[in-house]
Structure formats: structure tokens, C-alpha cells
A and B are shown apart, each in its own frame.
Chain A
Amino acid sequence: MSPARGGAAMRLSGLLRKEFLQIVRDPSGIAIAFLMPIFLLVLFGYGVSLDADHVPVALVADAPSQDSADFLAALQGSHYFVPRVAGSLPEAEQALREGAVKGIIHLSADFSRRLRQADGAPIQVLVNGVDANTARLVEGYVTGAWGAWLAAQSARRGQKLDMPVDLQPRIWFNSELKSRNYLVPGLVAIIMTLIGALLTALVMAREWERGTMEALMVTPASMSEVLLGKLGAYFILGTGGMLLTVGLAVWLFGVPLRGSFWLLWGCASLFLLAALGMGLTISTLARSQFVAGQIAIIATFLPAFLLSGFIFDIGSMPAVVQAITHLIVARYFVAIVQTLFLAGNVWSVILPNAAALALMAAIFLGITWRKSRKRLD
């Protein structure tokens, strides 16, 4: 074919070397690839917790008794609550309004009497519904603590509590119910979206803005070589970000990695290809860094954050939104990482999701391939 063919290896290595020099010298690339993962990990590993722990609650007993003191002691013994005794219901309500407590447990005046009757004593639980998540957690934990206390009471009195079903919950995969254990693996998807899509779209737009693309175009290098150079460099950078995140997740945050590391690496590579494909597709539409950044954040980063199942469970979304999540590349990868970290090599989850990733990668890289021509118009 053309004489230009022979120099393809030289051109590609030249382009790759250029990309790496630029990555090393431009602090913003390093920041997105390495500082951002550390920042997000610390934020989600330490700062964000979807668990209730040491929740302040107020206990109001209209007629304080041995029983109410006993229940208070049981609450104090649990790490979920920091109970305090309020003198009256209005006083407790005031504390709830001020946000000093997240819930009120109200024991009525006939608490002790009805406790010993056949149908048992009711308790009233008031929660602050502004923070719906915490409210639901408090409600659930109080109910659990109440059940446990009743059972203990009955056992002490030597009578068997009359329950139709004896519920013995056993939690699989994340037995301590730590939200960190599923948030941190999900971060791998977020960080790789940032590097693959956002960073790549930005650096491509920069080539247009600075006029370097025009200069590259008139060299014998073909458009696919220019794209391969970008793809190669940012693939390696993204893999670095992924390894850093996985390493910190396992060694710093003690998230168990129950599946195969190599399988994780393989799936991450598929996802990275799809993310790079998205970044390059965006760069064929937007030739200014500002526009490219906006599109990348709205079209890739935010959906990866909100609609991938990273934080919010896809199963509890409205049907329409659930349907939309099928278009979000990150959802397939979040399903894979969460499974690989917490459950292990569950092939029935991994195979279909990996197939979806491969398909998405092919679609986006295909679009880029077709759209990129060595023409300015």
C-alpha cells in the first residue's frame, strides 16, 4: 500500500510518547487521574455513610418505671442509638424540631401495666421525615431494638414470647451492613468514567482549541493513529486510576475482594474502553474544552453517579427511570464490581453485564471511528 504504512509504528510511538509527556507535565490530568480518586475514596469511605450509627433519640416516659428504665438501658447498650431522657413530649418535640434528636420514643402512662397484659404494650415512635433515609433507618432500628428487648424481658420472666414466626435474619455478602463496602467498589466506576470520558473529551477539545489538531492532520499520520494514540495513553492512565482505587479499597478501607482480581481487571478494561469511546464521541461533537466538559459531566459523570446503582438502588426507581438506566454504561460495571467485591465470581451476573459493556464499547468506538475524518468541514 502507501509508503506511509511502513512508518505506522514510529508514528504511533511518537504520538504515545507525546501523550505521556503531556500527561506528566499537565497537572490537571494527574489531578483527575490520581488525586480525584483519593479525594472521592476518602469522601465516600469516611464521610458519606448511609448507615445509622449513634443516632440521637429522645425517650419520653409519661410515667417513669422500672420497665421504662430497663428499656432505656437496652437502648443505651446498642451502638445504633444515643438515647436521652426528655421530661415531657413537648420538650422532646422541640428537640426534634431543632434537629438535636432524630427520633422520639414515647412510652405512655399505662406502659408498665399493659406490658404485662396478653396483647402487650404499644410504643409510639416519632421520626423526623425531612431526612427520609435516616427516618426509615431509625424506625427500623427502634422496632428491632423493641423486639429484642421484649424477647429478653419474656425470657427473664421465664415465659415464651408468643410469636407466630420466629424471624432469625442472616445477612449475606455484607454481613456488617456497612454501606462503605458497596460504595467504595462502585467508586471504581465513577473514577474510570472521569478519566475515560471527561479527561479524554477535554484533551481532545484542547487539541482543537490550540490548533494542534490541524497540524497533526496534515502529517502522514492517519486519523485512526491519532485516535489510537489518545486511546492508548488514557487507557493506561485509567487502568492506573482503577488499580489505585482497588488497592485503597482493599488495603485502606478493608473492603473484601471475594471475586477474582483478574476478572475485575478484565471487566474494568471493557468499561474503560466504553468510557474512552464516550469521551472521544463527545470530542467529535464539541471542539471547545468548555462545551466538551459540560457534555461529559451531564452525559457521563452524573448518570454514572445517580443512575448506575452506585448510590441509589435501581430496583427502587420508577419503571421509566429503570428503563433509562439500561442506556448508562456505568450501571453494567457497577453491578459487576459490587458482585466481584462482595459476592465473588457470580457468572450469571458478570457474563451478561460484561457482554453489555463490550457492546457499548463497540458502539461508541464505532461512532468515533466513523465520525473522525481528516477533514475540517
Chain B
Amino acid sequence: MSRWLHERRGGRHFTFVVLGACLPVILTVSGCTTGSSEARKDLSARALLDFKTGEIILPLDAYDATTRWADFQSLQRATYLAVDECMVARGQRYTAAHIIDAPDTNIGDRLYGLWNVDYVRKYGYDSPEVQTNIAIAKDAEAGGDAWGAAWKTCYETTIPTEIRSLIPGLEEQRRSLVSRLRAEARSRAEADPGWAAARVPWAACLQKAGLEPHTDGWRSKQAQDMIMSENDVPTQGTQELSRIAYIEAKCNVESGLTQNLGNLEAGYQQPLIDANQAALNKVKEQAQQRLATAKAYIATHG
């Protein structure tokens, strides 16, 4: 959770108090065994901005199977196929299992605002519909409550255990070493003077283009107001919002906002990786096993 978000949402200052007290569990994660809050930074670490997929790839991403869109698609499809097989046996349909979403439905990462200019030029703040989501909605509507009951039975009790566990649940994500290290690196990056400094040229660029940087987050106030005023209406990209999105993305790239903040996070992730390499290698093996299981299942059931 970024510092600005804590301030905005209030009531979470307790978290910082706890962090400041350097809880033993945090110490374990950070290796801060002396009680020092000094954080090491690897200046050579970089975030990779993949303009094809829109993803911001950080060093820790190599250690889980859910961060990269393509990997997650494999986990998702295998799970959907297993559910569909069970649903069909119960006279229902789960057609999402047989739909492969096009790569451009991947919206990428907007951790630090819009930055993928080509994508934004095409879609503005929005993106194409996710066809699997639409298929699920249609099947659910057609099948009614019987469909919902069948889905629940299939997912919770019938599909193979190794498939049900492909997509990590809430608790697993909460407890994962990768998640904890990511959070620790993010916390350290936010405390780095470079974090606030990165906003300066980005904000100046927006102002030069006639936009007002929102006080928290990585968009203009104008875009924020438009998005929030939509109230339940999906963004379909009004001309003005598309124009603003393009300016925001251009300013993001010109000021190096996403690259700089990504580098900062990468710089704090790398020493944590080094300090936890043995444990992370095991985590990576498990992630690769998940992917292998998913791909094998798709190959035989897809």
C-alpha cells in the first residue's frame, strides 16, 4: 500500500506504526535482523516494460505463475476445461473453456498509470471485451440457479485436486513468499526519495498539456473525475477521455515515470531475492510445476 493511499484512505496509519516497530515477521522477510530499517538497493536492477503485452516485468515475477498474463491464461484455461467437463456431465455448459482470449485483451499493468502509448491510442482507458467473461455471463443466465449449483459442485468437489489448486486462492496468495517480498520491496521503494521525485517531471508534463495531476495516484484529475462520474457505466472511451488518456501515457513515457518507478521497485526486489534465493528457487519450481500441470491438462483435454 503506497504512502499516499494510506493518507487518502485514513485509518491505516496503524499499519505504519506496526511497520515502524519492525515486527518480527517483517524482520524475517526483510532480513532486518539487527533492527535497522536501512534497505539495500541494487542500482543495476531494471524493470522491463514489455510494450507488446503491456506488462511491467519486475525481478520477482520470475518466481510465480500468476503474474504474467500468458501464464495465468494457462492456469485459467486448464481450470475452465476441468469445470466444463464436469458441467457437461451435469447437462450444463461452461463455454468459456473453449474460448481463447486474444492477446490484446490483456490490459497489461497500470501500476503507475497509463504508459503503453500504442495501446492507449487504440483503446484509451479501456480495452476489448474479455470473451471468456462474456461467455460465463451468458451461460450463467441461460442455466439459472441449477447452473450455479452445478458449477459450485464441480469446482469445489468434482474436478481433480491438482487442477483446483492451479490458481492460488486468497490465503495462499496472502502467505506466499513472493507476495511478501514484493510488498517489502514496494514499501522500501516508496520510502526512497526517488519515488516522490519521479512524479515531478510527470506532473509538469501534464500541466504543460493543460491537465492537473491528481493528488494521489498516477492520473490527471480530469480523468479521475470522468471515470468516477460514470457510476456503473463501463468506460467506453469518450473522445475526451481518450484524448486525456493519450496525453497521460505520453507524459508517462516522456518523463520516464513507469520506467523509473519500476526500476526503483526492481532495485529493492533484487537484494531481497538474493537474500531469499534458496527459498525462492523452491517457489519457482512449484510455479513451473503448476504451469506444466496446466499445459499437460490443456493438451489432453483442450
A, B co-complexed? no
Which B residues lie at the A interface, using CB under 8 A?
Answer: none
